[in-house]
Amino acid sequence: MAASLQLLQFKPLKPSFSFFSRRSVSPICSAAPTPSKSQRSYTITLLPGDGIGPEVISVAKDVLLLAGHLEGIKYEFRERLIGGAALDATGVPLPDETLSAAKQSDAVLLGAVGGYKWDNNDKHLKPETALLGLRQELKVFANLRPASVFPQLVDASTLKRAVAEGVDLMVVRELTGGIYFGKPRGFDTNEDGEEFGFNTEIYAEHEIDRIAHAAFKIARKRRGKLCSVDKANVLEASILWRRRVSAIAQEYPDVELSHMYVDNAAMQLIRNPKQFDTIVTNNIFGDILSDEASMITGSIGMLPSASLGASGPGLFEPIHGSAPDIAGQDKANPFATVLSAAMLLRYGLDEEKAAQRIENAVLDTLNKGFRTGDIYSTGTKLVGCKQLGEEIMKSVESNVPSGATV
């Protein structure tokens, strides 16, 4: 029973929930070419990237393949370079070939980008620039980051059991606007001859409106509570954000809206995370708060994400980075990427059964006690990334029902 409750974080609460469906007519949907249900063959672009990216993508690809095979789905995988790996091979972090493959696919699954080697590169030659460019080019403005505490991992959380237990929240992060993209930006020199760097936090009404609509629709399918996080006591962009979100709330009388300043939200997430259901926030606050939320669940290696736009393929990726400190050591936790693959099936391809098969397998693997180092606790079985992948595959194959728990 507990297991099925856990799964609510990843799936629509009602089977008919079409908000994310590629066949949906809602304002945010994936509109890649839709094969008929009988055809069920999809093109997936895989972008392993850097650091632990290839390790976790390798596991997620195998899991996708097996779950797909068992549910009658065929894939054509196209693996392309991005980030530092692309820089080293081609001289640019986001080659045209990668971008066009991504745009022409039904969904994109990404590992992570970045690493020490490229940290001092000029901005246009940084791996991270590729990821920002990809998100912008795919126009995936809504980034869904579910953070729930699996009962099996309560003791892996750094918070007290009473605080962490039962947390189930969703961060809806605006992904293609704000300070990560705002202009003007750059470096200049002031009248004292001192260099300065500057960025612009900027949001137009339509950018706020579309993410607000997305968040209200998500909240209404969850527990009906939406907390909009901003810094409206200081920033003009946040004042507009709060005004627009409040205006749009009139269209969702069934959703209880609250507003919170981001500094307080950061504190409340640790003090009492169970007060949150759905959080909607801008690009930078969402980036930071979701990393913070991940630690409530035990590890940043547990959190998947789905990035969706009004049309075209969705982008699915773990929220973590390339973890260069553990790259190549078979220590990475692949759950976040495997769960991102489940989100890809559900929200990118409308393949609910295969998505559920994967989520059930994750729970089953946890129930059997397998853990990577980041979520290890006494009494559980410490394994590497590869072995964890093999255990997940066994569980995918045996197709445990979602209600199965220890």
Ligand X SMILES: NC(=O)C1=CN([C@@H]2O[C@H](COP(=O)(O)OP(=O)(O)OC[C@H]3O[C@@H](n4cnc5c(N)ncnc54)[C@H](O)[C@@H]3O)[C@@H](O)[C@H]2O)C=CC1
Ligand Y SMILES: CC(C)CC(=O)C(=O)O
Min separation Cβ 85 and ligand Y, Å: 15
CA-based nearest residue to 282, from 253, 261, 303: 261
On the 0-12 / 13-18 / 19+ scale of CB atoms within 10 A, 87 is buried
Q: Does 112 contact ligand X by CB under 6 A?
A: yes
Residue of 320, 346, 357, 371 that binds ligand X (CB under 6 A): 320
| Contact call for residue 132 and ligand Y (CB under 6 A) | yes
Residue showing the smallest CB distance to ligand Y in the complex: 128
Q: Could you tell me the smallest distance in angstroms from the CB atom of residue 338 to ligand Y?
A: 18
Specify whether the CB–CB gap between 110 and 129 falls below 8 A. no
Catalytic residue among 117, 263, 325, 381: 263
Distance from C-alpha of 179 to C-alpha of 85, rounded to nearest angstrom: 26
What the block records as the tokens of 215 is: 């968040």
Residue 214 C-alpha from the chain's centroid: 15
Least Å from the CB of residue 289 to ligand Y? 12
324 is a contact residue toward ligand X (CB under 6 A): yes
Report if residue 312 touches ligand X, rule: CB under 6 A.
no
DSSP-H helix ranges across 1-78: 2-7, 53-70
CB nearer to ligand Y: pick between 132 and 344: 132
- The answer to whether the Cα torsion of 110, 112, 117, 122 is positive or negative is positive
Helix (H) or strand (E) holding 194: none
Using CB under 6 A, count the residues that bind ligand X: 21
Distance, in Å, from the CA atom of 184 to the CA atom of 201, rounded to the nearest integer, reads 10
Q: Which of 50, 230, 287, 364 is catalytic?
A: 287
- 144 binds ligand X, rule: CB under 6 A: no
Catalytic annotation present for 62 = no
DSSP-assigned letters across all residues of 252-277 = -TTSEEEEEEHHHHHHHHHH-GGG-S
Q: What is the CA radius of gyration of the chain?
A: 20
**Chain-centre distance of CA 95, in angstroms?**
23
289 binds ligand X (CB under 6 A): no
Q: Which of 62, 106, 207, 287 binds ligand Y (CB under 6 A)?
A: 287
Written as six digits, the tokens of 201 are 């936090």
Task: Say whether 261 is catalytic.
Answer: no
In the complex, the smallest distance separating the C-beta of residue 17 from ligand Y, rounded to whole angstroms, is: 26
Give the integer Cα–Cα distance in Å for 367 and 148.
16
Measured CA angle at 39 (ends 37, 41), to 5 deg: 105
Q: Does residue 323 touch ligand Y according to CB under 6 A?
A: no
175 binds ligand X (CB under 6 A): no
Choose between 238 and 299: whose C-beta lies nearer to ligand X. 299
359 touches ligand Y by CB under 6 A: no
Closer Cβ to ligand X, 256 or 291, answer by number: 291
Report, in Å, the least distance between residue 319 CB and ligand X: 7
Our answer to whether residue 231 is catalytic in this structure is: yes
Toward ligand Y, which CB reaches closer, 132 or 171? Answer: 132
Interatomic CA distance for residues 218 and 324, integer angstroms: 34
Residue type for position 235? L
Residue 131 as a binder of ligand Y (CB under 6 A): the answer is yes
Q: Which is nearer to ligand X, 128 or 350 (CB)?
A: 128
**Among the listed residues 144, 199, 131, the one whose alpha carbon sits nearest the alpha carbon of residue 174:** 144
Closest approach, Cβ 229 to ligand X, in A, equals 20
Q: Between residue 109 and residue 128, which ones bind ligand Y under the rule CB under 6 A?
A: 114, 128
Among 54, 115, 146, 389, binds ligand X (CB under 6 A): 115
Phi-psi sector, 399: left (phi>0), alpha (psi -120 to 50), beta: left
Residue selected from 113, 134, 211, 293 as contacting ligand X according to rule CB under 6 A: 113
Residue 322 binds ligand X (CB under 6 A): yes
Please report whether residue 362 would count as binding ligand X according to CB under 6 A. Answer: no
Active site residue 252: no
Residue from the set 255, 374, 388, 393 that interacts with ligand X by CB under 6 A: 374
Catalytic, 291? Answer yes
Q: Cα dist. 384→10, 162, 326 in Å? A: 25, 30, 11
Task: Yes or no: say if 359 and 396 are a contact pair by the CB < 8 Å rule.
Answer: no
Q: What is the DSSP string of 124-178?
A: GGSHHHHHHHHHHHHT--EEEEEEE--GGGGGGSSS-HHHHTT-EEEEEEE-SSG
Q: Residue 131 interacts with ligand X (CB under 6 A)?
A: yes
Residues designated catalytic: 180, 231, 263, 287, 291
Which residues bind to ligand X, rule: CB under 6 A? Answer: 52, 112-115, 128, 131, 300-301, 317, 320-326, 332-333, 336, 374
Which residues bind to ligand Y, rule: CB under 6 A? Answer: 114, 128, 131-132, 287
